[in-house]
Chains A and B, each alone.
Chain A
């Protein structure tokens, strides 16, 4: 059933904390896409995101840094070593004392083990490598991390997810928990699961990270979480 968001929002104005999507109702963004988009995604020979996966495959074997090591030199064949890795992120990093995402993990390997400069965020190389590594976990469910160290971060993320922000005074939850499946200005609102990233987004005509996607939601007239990195990672932990 499609209801204009404007009308529904008026009713929600005084709503208490919105309810999370029940487990049996959880649906991937894939389910909300048109048949053509799904067909494009399903076909590895036509999915433009595969251009980045293939780029990552080349980078995997490229020696880098003072240590002159490639990813493959330590991790061997990515098909086995990287299977199940992407779904464990964000993960708690003991040294840093906070959660890190897959991109940061790759950069930690790069700086600490390869002894090379870190890749830039949203740069072509990091997108390609992340896409390549994530591709090795294709089909696996995201492993929700319940470890105690992550608790304060996911609790903060949960709060942020439900907090109204910006000009429109909207929280993430109001769209993605309460109004998923309905339409907002021509688009179907998905449930906002952070799965399947980095993603080839048609509006970008390029691959991009979860951060970029969150950024886009927030430039819909809300303060952008830029260097407040811990808050962003807590978002991820909570979702």
Chain B
């Protein structure tokens, strides 16, 4: 399972805009590279990233091969209520990796 690093505050005040930074280990193979024999290395990228907050989607990204390997995505969201943020990364193979984090909003 690719390693993931998620950075967001553990606590926030209601209404505060928080920044979330994510990193996932993935080669993001573009599909344009040639191997030693001259054959194309097939494309294999994470093509979708999404974040839900207490079940509601608050951010989504469609990614293409131009995104660098080990994709870094930083975005913001409003700290509304305490609860769970779920992050998902979906690859070309259709598999999705999911991570969750809690936030306390006072």
**Which residues of A does B touch, CB under 8 Å?**
45-46, 48, 50-52, 54-55, 205-206
Contacts and interface: CB of A to CB of B under 8 A. Distances in A.
A51 B70 contact: yes
Nearest to A48: B70
A205 B27 contact: yes
Chain B: interface residue count, which band? 10 to 19
B69 A51 contact: no
A46 B27 contact: no
A48 B23 contact: yes
B25 interface: yes
A52 B5 contact: no
Contacts of A48: 23, 25, 69-70, 72
A51 B5 contact: yes
Contact of A206 (B7, B69, B72): B69
Contacts of A51: 3-5, 23-25, 70
Contacts of A54: 3, 5
22 contacts: A45-B7, A45-B21, A45-B23, A46-B21, A46-B23, A46-B72, A48-B25, A48-B72, A50-B5, A51-B23, A51-B24, A51-B25, A52-B25, A54-B3, A54-B5, A55-B3, A55-B25, A205-B27, A205-B69, A205-B70, A206-B27, A206-B70
A52 B68 contact: no
Interface in B21-45: 21, 23-25, 27-28
A50 B27 CA distance: 15
Contacts of A55: 3, 25
Give me the 8 closest cross-chain CB pairs, A-B, nearest first: A205-B69, A48-B70, A45-B7, A51-B25, A45-B21, A51-B3, A55-B3, A46-B72
A55 B72 CA distance: 17
Nearest to A50: B5
A107 B7 CA distance: 32
**Residue of A51, A52, A55, A206 ringed by the most chain B CB atoms within 10 A:** A51
B87 to A, nearest CB: 14
A138 to B, nearest CB: 17
A205 B21 CA distance: 19
B26 to A, nearest CB: 10
A45 B72 CA distance: 9
A45 B19 CA distance: 11
B85 to A, nearest CB: 16
A206 B68 CA distance: 11
Interface string B76-92: 00000000000000000
Contacts of B28: 205
Contacts of A45: 5, 7, 21, 23
Interface string B1-19: 0011101000000000000
A143 B70 CA distance: 32
Contacts of B7: 45
A50 B7 CA distance: 12
B31 to A, nearest CB: 15
A181 B35 CA distance: 33
A52 B4 CA distance: 10
